[in-house]
């Protein structure tokens, strides 16, 4: 799939079932929702930086993305892919080289950051250490000339929403990491901005606290119905929080889609490998004509122990169009099942040796090796094989993914 074909406009989407519905209709004593929801449109954004040695670095390359009113979009990708720069361009902290940004129908060209009506929450809490939580949250309203009674009402309602009502008189040094992050969130919420921008706000928190704050952010979005753009390198965070996910690599968008579509129909090998824990297994090979129909066989350099499958049904019909072409088969670890020690010749199974066993309570990751090929099986079986044991691994090709070896784009 080419980048030109990436879907960048929002589609109708339901509130994801995974978030639950118990708190969607919570009535707040004070209306904290933004007065006007904002549609954010990024059109062919580009930004280049000059490195200390003089070399030019393309941080953002021709990025186009539309975020609908009240939508929660997560921009995800590895470090240095341009996701934070994209957020800073929206906020106005960086100047565009090319392209346009509009919020609620108004172009942001020449509009200063303080006049864009966006609020940004950073990775670092950036709280004033000598001020109480109340004062930190109220400062922005004070600087904007908000009446004192209204500011007080906003701060106290927001504190109630975030579970900070008992912490308002405390200074940052006396708060926990999660409480400090909630104060930073509250400072943004009280402004009632059109758009919230989050730059990896949970990355400095420990594991349990990060899980708690992730759930709180999901609830917060339902309550405020605000437009939110959230940057992270954590694919699990993206899958849980997002209405849609925008995947970036080397400054460019690779795919924009709902979480389920990203996982089940990745546009290319990069997206397929980035999402999923453990990651997708890849088997480079070729489609070949056989007496029994169309088959797949791993590359010749593994001919001492090739991985060979027979395709059936629609998969065989599709593969027939690509016979002789270099193909990479992708299989997620949950779509491979460990069976008896000998592979069944009548099924799509292979014989392999157990290399590593990793136990994670309710599930186990079993690393298998066959010749020069290694792959992982995610198993929930009670008993698992031991290291060095030879087992059979049955692969479900009905849910397999096929990519072009050269372009790494999805074949079907």
Domains of the chain: 3-117+193-274 (3.40.50.300), 281-404 (2.40.50.140)
Strand order in the sheet with 252-257: 118-121, 195-199, 227-232, 72-76, 244-249, 252-257
Q: Which residue has the tokens 């995800």?
A: 76
pLDDT in tens, the chain (412 residues): 444 444 444 433 333 333 343 444 333 444 555 445 689 999 999 999 998 888 999 999 999 999 999 999 999 999 999 999 999 999 999 999 999 999 999 999 999 999 999 999 988 778 999 999 999 999 989 988 999 999 999 999 989 888 899 999 999 999 988 889 889 989 998 988 999 999 998 887 777 878 888 888 888 888 888 899 999 999 999 999 999 999 999 999 999 999 999 999 999 999 999 999 999 999 999 999 998 899 998 885 544 667 889 998 888 888 999 998 899 999 999 999 998 766 565 678 899 999 999 999 899 999 999 988 899 999 988 888 999 999 999 999 989 999 999 999 999 8
Task: Determine the distance from the C-alpha atom of residue 28 to the mean position of all C-alpha atoms in its chain, rounded to a whole number.
Answer: 30
Distances (CA, A) of 401 to 59, 264, 271, 288, 331: 30, 9, 12, 17, 6
Q: Is the dihedral of CA 313, 316, 320, 321 positive or negative?
A: positive
Residue 296, helix vs strand vs coil:
strand
| Residues whose CB is less than 8 angstroms from the CB of residue 69 and which lie 6 or more positions away in sequence, other chains included | 37, 38, 39, 227
For residues 231 and 85, the answer to whether their CB atoms sit within 8 Å is no
CA dist., res. 334 & res. 338, Å (int):
10
Task: Determine the distance from the C-alpha atom of residue 396 to the mean position of all C-alpha atoms in its chain, rounded to a whole number.
Answer: 26
CA dist., res. 70 & res. 227, Å (int):
4
pTM across the whole model:
0.86
For residue 337, what is the enclosing H or E element?
Answer: strand 336-339
């Amino acid at each position: 799939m080419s980048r030109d074909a990436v879907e960048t406009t929002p589609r109708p989407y339901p509130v994801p079932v995974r978030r639950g519905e118990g708190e969607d209709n919570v009535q707040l004593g004070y209306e904290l929702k933004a007065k006007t929801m904002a549609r954010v449109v990024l059109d062919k954004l580009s930004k280049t930086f000059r490195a200390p040695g003089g070399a030019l670095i393309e941080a953002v390359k021709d990025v186009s993305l539309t975020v609908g009113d009240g939508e929660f979009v997560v921009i995800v990708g590895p470090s240095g892919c341009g996701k934070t720069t994209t957020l800073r361009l929206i906020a106005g902290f960086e100047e565009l080289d090319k392209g346009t940004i509009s919020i609620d129908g108004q172009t942001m060209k020449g509009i200063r950051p303080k006049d864009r009506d966006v609020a940004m929450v950073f990775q670092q809490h950036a709280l004033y250490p000598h001020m109480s939580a109340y004062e930190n949250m109220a400062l922005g309203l004070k600087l904007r000339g908000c009446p004192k009674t209204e500011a007080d009402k906003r701060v106290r309602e927001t504190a109630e929403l975030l579970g900070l009502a008992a912490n308002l008189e405390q200074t940052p040094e006396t708060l926990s990491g999660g409480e400090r992050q909630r104060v930073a969130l509250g400072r943004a919420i009280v402004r009632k901005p059109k758009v919230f921008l989050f730059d990896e706000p949970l990355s400095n928190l420990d594991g349990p606290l990060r899980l708690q704050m992730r759930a709180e952010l999901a609830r917060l979005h339902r309550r405020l119905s605000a437009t939110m753009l959230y940057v992270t390198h954590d694919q699990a965070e993206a899958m849980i929080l997002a209405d849609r996910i925008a995947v970036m690599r080397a400054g460019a968008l690779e795919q924009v889609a709902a979480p389920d579509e990203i996982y089940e129909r990745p546009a290319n090998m990069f997206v397929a490998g980035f999402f999923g824990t453990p990651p997708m297994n890849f088997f480079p090979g070729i489609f070949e004509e056989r007496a029994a129909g169309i088959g797949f066989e791993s590359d010749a350099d593994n001919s001492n122990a090739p991985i060979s499958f027979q395709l059936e049904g629609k998969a065989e019909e599709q593969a027939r169009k690509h016979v002789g072409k270099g193909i990479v088969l992708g299989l997620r670890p949950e779509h491979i099942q460990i069976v008896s020690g000998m592979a069944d010749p009548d099924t799509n199974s292979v014989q392999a040796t157990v290399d590593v066993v990793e136990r994670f309570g309710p599930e186990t990751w079993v690393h298998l090796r066959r010749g020069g090929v290694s792959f992982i099986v995610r198993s929930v079986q009670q008993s698992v094989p031991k290291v060095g044991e030879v087992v059979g691994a049955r692969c479900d090709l009905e849910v397999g993914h096929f990519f072009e070896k050269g372009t790494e784009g999805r074949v079907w």
